[in-house]
Structure 1
Amino acid sequence: MIFVPEDHPRLFPWQEFTCQFQGLVMAPNVSPCKFRKLQQRELTSQTLHTDTQKDVNPFQLAKPELDHICSSINQTLNTQMTELREMAQYYFDGQGKTFRPLIVLLMAKALNAHGKNTDIITQSQKQVAMISEMIHTASLVHDDVIDNSSTRRGKPTVDSRWGQRKAILVGDYILSVSSLLLAQLRNEEVVKILSQVIEDLVRGEFMQLGSKEEPNDRFNHYLKKTFKKTASLMANSCKAVAVLSNCSDDLTERAFEYGRNIGMAFQLIDDLLDFTSHESVMGKPTAADLKLGLATAPVLYAAQEHKELNALIMRRFCHEGDVELARSLVAKSDGVYQTRLLAEAHSAAAIGLLKEFKPSKARDALEHVATMVLSRNK
């Protein structure tokens, strides 16, 4: 519960949001500096501190299933139309992060270990992991068309190599094949859950394209958009494998919330790296969001300190010099730092949700993932 008196100065959005996740009580005389110290103490206390967590490599634990999923996706997309096959398999070359199927597989292992005393992943759960990666990849193909991006994962995008028309079609093709895999599960609830992801992706993209909110609405709009574009896929995929594991409602909700928090943390770090990393590391252009007219968390936080950013945000950084000025103001502000704090809050919330899971290597690996997402550099 959050206690904020009416006469107390309005909290920055990051303070309101992290209060909600950490269960902190904001007293009338708590300064932002003291709040940060309290928050850091709470973040530390969320860790499960298991003996095995430090020894668990999430990717190694799920490697057999991950390898199988990558090969299965390529096999599923192995159409007789040579060019379509080449385009559809273009991003499934083993060079991607495979972050989403990793989370789905580890969640399936942890849930099965909790309820069935076995970490063996069922075929239907593996299929959900496949579907999650295919939906994600289809969205990347379409995003690159919308954003007119030239590189992705250090190589030319589908759009820049084959053209917009074919890129749109191949994105649709990957999505349609994933829908066929979803139908094969013959589970109405799981179909509804994963169909919601596709709706959220479209709604999130529309929210991003038409974003011109007033200052007080921007951060909430950004968080909702981030959930729909990124976190919904992770949250609902985790929920789907929970349903297939016949979990209790409580564990199913915890699985969903874990995926949601990991997804939010992942995107916040992604938005942060757009200001702190280099194109050679990221495998895609940096400052890309500003060039597209998008104000992400570092910019929105910086606007709290540098009011001149508001005019740039409203005109979507379209004037000459706007992008450079915005980068400069973000660098002078606490925007990057506050974005990291918010990502850490989501990471800690994800770890806290695992406390009700039975101890297992998969649970420890999920905790490791929650901390790993904060330290990535691309």
Structure 2
Amino acid sequence: MVIKSIENELKQLDQNLQTMIAAENPILYSAAEQLFHAGGKRIRPTILLMIAKLVDDNNRISTEQKRLAEITEIIHTASLVHDDIIDNCDTRRGVNSVHAIFNNKIAVLAGDFLFAQSSWYLANLNNLNVVKTISKIITDFAEGEVQQGLRLFDNSISIEEYIEKSFYKTASLIACSCKATIMLTIDNRNTQNDFYLYGKHIGLAFQIVDDILDIIGVSENLGKIAGLDLKNGNLTAPLIFALSVKNELYKLINQEFQFTQDTKKAVDLIKQTNSIQKAKDLAEEHIQLAIHIIKDKYNYKDNSEILSICYNITNRIN
């Protein structure tokens, strides 16, 4: 996704990230740098930079808002390092994950280092309310991982519980960082809350689409092994919807996909239902809620680029 109006800002962001993650220990630096060299969609900083422009009368992005976009990407990357260890994922964005190249201990330390770096830069924004808002993300990450860990291979999980877990693991980061971006320049609680909700719905839609791609995608497109969520016992929207019509899935879940063909069989069963479409409809509901916020209250300006971000999320599975 290329947004022309912030192309220069994103290039500068990539350059700044290399400086911000510098470490004296070469192993630690190499481990932390691994994911940044692998690239990524930069969807989170793109969203933050776009909403910063949208709410400013002169379409300007402050230095603090640019730095917050960088901080958010570091936090996101740190969470990926830890996620790959927990999920036993050996590839990320098409390249070997940090723990696969080094080991789990180095990967944990690299993730901790990135969290520490983001905290230091966050403190230097000298805005206590922003610090409080962004700090909540770290707590939510932990809550989401615990919830997911407790519900592995649990075929009683509901869509509501899945959405709650998805908020903690993914949507909280976008929601809180969107709110914090507004807090840096606008002292209006209603506007701050509008963009919190915008970020929340975008984040939930993004996670649901990722979970659909885990079922229908191929490894080359995902940058990781397709069906990994199922294999790890992480039951997502397409499977949860399919459980009501394919009883065979209960057996596969109860035996924790222990046989080689079990994951493929589960994917085939899900594809025989309308569950993927139902999951896509759920993602679209959240996209429309996000769009409504922008169109309803911020249609007095050119909001086409930020709306294109919304549309592109579900287009990934078309």
> Is TM-score (shorter-chain normalized) higher than 0.5?
yes
Q: Residues 40-91 of structure 1, C-alpha deviation per residue, up to 9 Å, x if partnerless? A: xxxxxxxxxxxxxxxxx85222111111111111111122322222221222
Q: TM-score, normalised by structure 2?
A: 0.94
1:298 aligned partner:
238
Aligned counterparts of 1:310 and 1:197: Cα–Cα separation in 2:
34
Q: Which residues of 2 match residues 131-170 of structure 1 at below 5 A?
A: 131-170=71-110
The DSSP-based 3-state class of the residue aligned with 2:58 is coil
Q: Residues 354-375 of structure 1, C-alpha deviation per residue, up to 9 Å, x if partnerless? A: 02015334x2211110001111
1:283 aligned partner:
223
Residue 211 of structure 2 is aligned with which of 255, 260, 271? 271
CA contact (8 A) 2:157 2:240 kept: no
Residue 239 of structure 1 is aligned with which of 172, 179, 188? 179
CA contact (8 A) 2:153 2:253 kept: no
1:75 aligned partner:
19
User: Which 10-residue stretch deviates more, 164-173 or 67-76?
Assistant: 67-76
Letter in 2 for 1:264: L
Aligned counterparts of 1:105 and 1:94: Cα–Cα separation in 2:
22
CA contact (8 A) 1:303 1:310 kept: yes
Q: Tell me, yes or no, if structure 1 residue 359 matches structure 2 residue 307.
A: no
CA contact (8 A) 1:274 1:287 kept: yes
1:105 aligned partner:
49
1:62 aligned partner:
6
Letter in 1 for 2:136: Q
| Aligned sequence identity (%) | 33
Q: Tell me, yes or no, if structure 1 residue 179 matches structure 2 residue 110.
A: no
How far apart are 1:315 and its partner, in Å? 5.0
Aligned counterparts of 2:84 and 2:13: Cα–Cα separation in 1:
24
How far apart are 1:321 and its partner, in Å? 4.4
How far apart are 1:297 and its partner, in Å? 0.4
Q: Tell me, yes or no, if structure 1 residue 371 matches structure 2 residue 311.
A: yes
CA contact (8 A) 1:151 1:283 kept: yes
Q: Residues 77-115 of structure 1, C-alpha deviation per residue, up to 9 Å, x if partnerless? A: 122322222221222227211011101111111122xxx
Aligned counterparts of 1:248 and 1:302: Cα–Cα separation in 2:
43
CA contact (8 A) 1:281 1:377 kept: no
2:272 aligned partner:
332
How far apart are 1:293 and its partner, in Å? 1.1
How far apart are 1:282 and its partner, in Å? 1.5
User: What residue ranges of structure 2 are gaps of 5+ in the alignment?
Assistant: none
Aligned counterparts of 2:106 and 2:169: Cα–Cα separation in 1:
23
CA contact (8 A) 1:111 1:247 kept: no
Aligned counterparts of 2:274 and 2:87: Cα–Cα separation in 1:
28
Q: Residues 219 and 315 from structure 1, CA distance in 2 versus in 1: closer, same or farther, beyond 3 angstroms?
A: farther
> Pairwise CA RMSD of aligned residues?
1.9
How far apart are 1:169 and its partner, in Å? 0.3
Aligned counterparts of 2:22 and 2:106: Cα–Cα separation in 1:
17
CA contact (8 A) 1:58 1:369 kept: no
CA contact (8 A) 2:153 2:233 kept: no
CA contact (8 A) 2:74 2:115 kept: yes
The DSSP-based 3-state class of the residue aligned with 1:95 is coil
Aligned counterparts of 1:226 and 1:233: Cα–Cα separation in 2:
11
1:44 aligned partner:
none
The DSSP-based 3-state class of the residue aligned with 2:162 is helix
The DSSP-based 3-state class of the residue aligned with 2:300 is coil
CA contact (8 A) 2:153 2:235 kept: no
Aligned counterparts of 1:331 and 1:151: Cα–Cα separation in 2:
25
Aligned counterparts of 1:317 and 1:218: Cα–Cα separation in 2:
20
CA contact (8 A) 2:40 2:93 kept: yes
Aligned counterparts of 1:90 and 1:246: Cα–Cα separation in 2:
36
